[in-house]
Amino acid sequence: MKQVHLAVQLPAIHNVTVWSDPRSESQISIDSFIRLAQAAERGKFDFFFLAEGLRLREHKGEVYDLDVVGRPENLTVLAALAAVTDRLGLAGTVNATFNEPYEVARRLASLDLLSGGRAAWNVVTSYDAFTGENFRRGGFLDEADRYTRAAEFLRTARELWDSWAEGDVLADAASGHFVREGAGRFAHRGRHFDIEGRFTTPRGPQGHPVVIQAGESDAGREFAASDADVIFSKYSRLEEARPFYADVKSRLAKYGRTHGQLKIMPTATAIVADTDEEAVAYADEITRAQVSPQTAIAHLEGVWGRDLSGYDPDGPLPDVDPEPESLVLKGHSVFRKGREETARRWRKLADERGLSIRELMIEVHGGQTFVGSPRTVADAIDHYVQSDGADGFVLVPHLTPGGLDEVVDRVVPLLQEKGVFREEYTGTTLREHLGLGAPTSPEETS
List, as residue ranges, the binding site for FMN.
Answer: 93, 147, 217
> What backbone torsions phi and psi does residue 112 show, to the nearest 5 degrees?
-65, -40
Separation between Cα atoms, residue 170 and residue 179, nearest integer Å: 5
Distance (Å, whole) CA 3 – CA 205: 24
Task: Please enumerate, by residue number, every residue annotated as part of a binding site.
Answer: 93, 147, 217
